[in-house]
Structure 1
Amino acid sequence: MKITFLSHACFLLEDGKHSLLIDPYLTGNPLAAAKPEELSPDFIAVTHAHGDHLGDTAAIAKRCGSTIFAVAELARTLRGECLTVSDGNLGGSQPTAFGRLKYVPACHGSGIAGGLACGLLVEMDGKKIYHAGDTALISDMALLREEKIDLALLPIGDYYTMGPEDALRAAEMIRPGMTIPMHYDTFPVIRQDPEAFRAAAQKRGLPVRVMAPGESFVL
């Protein structure tokens, strides 16, 4: 599976047949490695409705006919824009063309009345990827260890989400095959040193890959 980091919390997952874009905040993002019109994903998954995550979802989906995955309240709003949406909610999972998607707890504002923020557990090409979305450190993360996650995408920016210290604790609870830090440096208040996070994690036996916006690798 090819993983591309497009900055902030936006990742593109591709298995050679299907593509899944997560939290496409590109327009107005000073670090964005692509323009919305340069992407044509089959699917888009959104963790919550804050602008730096929902971002360009509607514009991309309208142009490409992408199916959007979102929790029920956000899905209802997007469906009202005549978009193709598959709704779900925390604890629920559903089969997809690329594998499976499960909505898992996150502790954060949702950005929409009555809605819930979530993390995403994506099964694709025989791999399991955990995208934490925006979240505080929560004890539910310990349950993810049993999932044998191949890749965890964890926020380290602090201020609005976990900071580096709590992200280390999260990685220790989850014990993924690899962790990629995200949600940092986009705004002044979330500037962090990802290399310091990587070094601290490696001392604890936790493999970390720091990605520059636009960088890709094969998992």
Structure 2
Amino acid sequence: MKITYLTHSTCILKIHEKYLLIDPFLSKNSFFNKKFLFNDYINKYIKKIDYILLTHAHYDHVCDVELFSRKFNNVLIISNYEISNFFEKKGIKTCAINYGSFVSFSFGKLKYIWAAHSSIFNNGIYGGNPGGFLIHTDEGNIYISGDTSLIYEMKLVPIFGKLKLSILPIGGRFTMDIEEAIIASEFLQCEKILGVHYNTFEAIKIDKEKAIKSFYDKNKNLILLDMGKSLYI
């Protein structure tokens, strides 16, 4: 399994030659556009997308869904019922899920997981319950929390199977901060964490070296990837 970090909470997972784009936020991301020419960047790092996974409806997680659905004709959107319905009305192929059972796909099986946050589109349309994704494959299991505070339900996640990696927000204010993400990793019984949702905006600035040390002191491995860099698990 290969994970490429693009920016903010946007990542690409490669599982069995299938490519899963998580929460695309590129074209309207001013932090991103200060560093890279948008078209050059996406052409370099996003050559194929089979699925787009959306944790909730906030613009910094969904703003490029239509862009990538046009670029990759057969892409399938996976999200909660309300978000799926919103994009289906735009002629985009979707698969609606909610808090419930695992659902099988070509890359493995996926479960929509609880999150404590909010979810609304920029135009005011309700975006349903926010969530995360638990992905089980024969290459390992991964948990993508989405934007969330620390919640006790995270203790249920390892009941379904041992995690190789958890992707957690660490910027604070709107989501968990460093200390809460460490507690979350303990709830999840997961030693390897990919940190996301930090440093994009002034309100979620962190000290990266201090964050890594804080996890290390608790026998956890916090990974903070540069934009466009990949991790193999």
For the superposition of Structure 1 and Structure 2, which TM-score range results when normalised by the shorter chain? over 0.9
Q: Could you tell me how far apart the structure 2 residues matched to 1:194 and 1:102 are?
A: 31
Which residue is equivalent to 1:5? 5
Q: Secondary structure at the match of 2:221?
A: coil
Q: Secondary structure at the match of 2:77?
A: strand
Which residue is equivalent to 2:148? 135
Query: Structure 2: 5+ residue runs without aligned partners?
Result: none
Kept in 2: contact 1:11–1:21 (CA 8 A): yes
**Which of the numbers 41, 66, 72 marks the counterpart of 2:49?**
41
The within-5 A match list for 1:12-91 is: 12-32=12-32, 35=39, 38=43, 39=46, 40-65=48-73, 66-91=75-100
The within-5 A match list for 1:167-186 is: 167-186=181-200
Offset from partner CA, 1:73-130 (integer Å, 9 cap, x none): 1100100000010110013321001111110000000114261100111224521111
Query: Structure 1: 5+ residue runs without aligned partners?
Result: none
CA drift of 1:151 comes to: 0.6
TM-score (normalised: structure 2): 0.88
Offset from partner CA, 1:121-157 (integer Å, 9 cap, x none): 1224521111110001100011123321111011011
Q: Relative to structure 1, is the Cα distance of residues 198 and 145 closer, same or farther in structure 2, using a 3 angstrom cutoff?
A: farther
Which residue is equivalent to 1:213? 227
TM-score (normalised: structure 1): 0.94
The within-5 A match list for 1:85-164 is: 85-111=94-120, 112-113=125-126, 115-146=128-159, 147-164=161-178
Residue correspondences, number: 219
Q: Which amino acid counterpart does residue 189 of structure 1 have in structure 2?
A: A
CA drift of 1:213 comes to: 1.2
Q: Could you tell me how far apart the structure 2 residues matched to 1:114 and 1:195 are?
A: 35
